[in-house]
Each structure stands twice: as C-alpha cells, then as structure tokens.
Amino acid sequence: MTKELDGGITPEGDGFEGVSWNILGQVYFPKADCETSFAFEANSEPGQFVPVHIHHTQDEFILVQEGQLELKLDGKWSTAKAGDLVRMPRGIPHGYFNKSDKPARAFFWVSPAGKLKDLFVGLDEMTDVVEVVRMSAAHDVEFLPAEAND
C-alpha cells in the first residue's frame, strides 16, 4: 500500500501532528512523510553530531537554517552555513557535526522515504549506542567505524 502525501502546513518548531523524537540528545521534528520522501528538522547543540553513515537506498539533503554544520561527505570535510543545501547521494558515506559554539538548526529530507521514520520512532529516547547501530542497520542505515569520523 502506498502512502500519499498529506497536504497542509507543519509549523516551524513543531513536528507533524505534534510529534518529536529525542535521538541521543538531538531533537528531531518530523515535517512530512509519504512513500517518496520523509522530511524532518533537527536541532544540534554545540558538540552534537551524527557519525558517518551510509543510506544505501536513499538520497539525503540538508538545508541549514541556522548556524553551521561541518560535513564529512565521501571522506572530505566541508562547512555548510545557513542557507546552504547539502546533497548526499545514496551509497556515499556522510556525517554531520556541530563543531561551533552555537546551536544549529537544519531541515533534512530523504528520498524515497524507506524505513527512516520507523527507525526514528524506534530510536526515540534510546541511550544504548550499540543498540542504536544495530537497529539502524536493520532499517537500511549503516554506521561506519569510529575512525571514519576523523
């Protein structure tokens, strides 16, 4: 059964239908969900990051809204500032890091939606990093060894 996109507006600072998830200290707000894409906002405090990982079946995008993020994309470092769009093709290792002293806010989306929303629901409030990695792999997100973040 295909999931069609519901029309409407998801307000700033809120999740779709009032939902938010705490994933290892970062707050995620789902913005839209259908078969062809899944969109969410994430707020990263200084020092927070998502380690280098691969989406084998999804392209991912980040539109930085506030602050800046350091990106490791296919082994190369770069900086994305407010207004910049980051394009991360499927199968390419990537991670993002808030190495600044200010919070960052960004809008993310993946296409197709795949299992990412289900993963976020399962990771909400989870603190066991080993279980986070295992559950992620079961939802088509592969985390690389820690040295990939250097």
Contact 47, 62 (CB under 8 A): no
CA torsion 69→145→26→61, rounded to 10°?
50
Which one, of 103, 67, 66, 69, lies nearest residue 88 by Cα? 69
The pLDDT of 44-62, averaged and rounded, is 97
Q: Going from the N-terminus, what domains does the chain have, and what CATH number goes with each?
A: 18-143 (2.60.120.10)
- Assess whether pLDDT exceeds 90 at residue 6: no
Contact 148, 52 (CB under 8 A): yes
* DSSP run (H or E) holding 97: strand 94-97
- Assess whether pLDDT exceeds 70 at residue 1: no
Residues 55-74: tens digit of each pLDDT: 999 999 999 999 999 999 99
**Distance between CA atoms of 31 and 105, rounded to whole angstroms?**
14
**Distance between CA atoms of 26 and 89, rounded to whole angstroms?**
23
Beta-ladder partners of 44: 104
Lowest mean pLDDT among 16-20, 35-39, 45-49, 88-92: 16-20
Residues 94-140: tens digit of each pLDDT: 999 999 999 999 999 999 999 999 999 999 999 999 999 999 999 99
